[in-house]
Amino acid sequence: LNWKQITIHSNLQETEMATLMSQMEFGIVPTSGILLECLAAKIKPISGFYIENQKFVYAEHLKLNNFIDASDLSYTSISSAIQNINLFEPTFTIIDGKSTERLAKLVRAIEKEHQYTIRLAAETDIDITFKWANDEATRKYAFSKEFIPFENHKAWFLSKISSTECLYFILCEQAKPIGSIRFDIKDKIATISYLLSPEHHGKGLGAILMKKGLEKLEKHVKSTGIEIVQGYVLFENLASIKLFERFGFSKETESTMYLFKKNTSRYV
């Protein structure tokens, strides 16, 4: 190692750091905030963890193939990672440059939250829920892709709204139904199923639906003995994955889908 070839930069301003990083082929960083900066600068990161509270972030980024693995950031691990640098194909999908757009959408949704109410589903909701259930956008991420005949839906729907093991709610915008969230309860576990009407997709309303649904569920936790809230999401359903993550659900992998879980004691 020729130390004369090493340049040390210190006390850099934000723009100086960004400029310097954009000139690098790769960086060796821990799985902390600076890893995101490397991804934003589109350089190849070699990353790992050196303290306990970085392990979870390390594991989640590793699943997404966001860096070249240097595990414990030891000399041996870093040396091995450098040898593999030419084999690494970054995706950079975690940084897409659309954060401003998403934040603006979120702020607009929060500003409008008072316009939305949630109520128990009623028999008069059969037709609209039938329409939602068979919409192409809904079936795309459903576990069963087949068309649902009306009579089948009617029998299923009536059984759900009359069951003591189901809490079924309808989200409304100025009294007009625009989505639903359901909690099927078994063995002290409440399993979530939710959907928005197709014309309301992409408006940031999933967060409002989930928030109001969980608030309704909270009132029933003690009387029903619910200990776990969970939801299943297909790998390709990125919007639902982000929604469950946003509300603090832990994630497990099960064959073709994720299982998101949360102990009710964490929010009651």
Cβ pair 228, 189 in contact under 8 A: yes
> Which amino acid would we find at residue 103?
L
Q: How high is the pLDDT of residue 260?
A: 95
C-alpha distances out from residue 88 to 25, 37, 94, 226, Å: 12, 18, 16, 45
Q: How high is the pLDDT of residue 2?
A: 63
Q: How high is the pLDDT of residue 6?
A: 82
Q: How high is the pLDDT of residue 99?
A: 79
Strand order in the sheet with 189-196: 116-120, 166-173, 176-186, 189-196, 228-234, 257-263, 250-254
- Integer Cα distance of 161 and 142 in angstroms: 20
User: Chain-wide mean pLDDT for the chain?
Assistant: 89
Residue with tokens 């980024």: 61
Q: How high is the pLDDT of residue 92?
A: 67
- Integer Cα distance of 35 and 44 in angstroms: 10
The DSSP 8-state label assigned to residue 74 in this structure reads: -
> Which amino acid would we find at residue 46?
I
- Integer Cα distance of 41 and 90 in angstroms: 12
- Integer Cα distance of 61 and 162 in angstroms: 44
Burial (CB count within 10 angstroms: exposed 0-12, middle 13-18, buried 19+), residue 39: buried
Give 234-257 pLDDT, tens digit per residue. 988 888 999 999 898 999 998 889
Strand order in the sheet with 44-48: 26-30, 44-48, 68-69
- Check whether 221 has a pLDDT greater than 90: no
The DSSP 8-state label assigned to residue 14 in this structure reads: H
Whether the full predicted model's pTM is greater than 0.75, yes or no, is no
- Check whether 131 has a pLDDT greater than 50: yes
The β-bridge partners of 252 are 259
Nearest to 174 by CA among 240, 249, 117, 112: 117
- Check whether 90 has a pLDDT greater than 90: no
The DSSP 8-state label assigned to residue 255 in this structure reads: T
Q: How high is the pLDDT of residue 31?
A: 94
Least confident of 33-37, 114-118, 210-214, 263-267: 263-267
- Check whether 267 has a pLDDT greater than 80: no
Which pLDDT band holds residue 268 (cuts at 50, 70, 90)?
A: very low
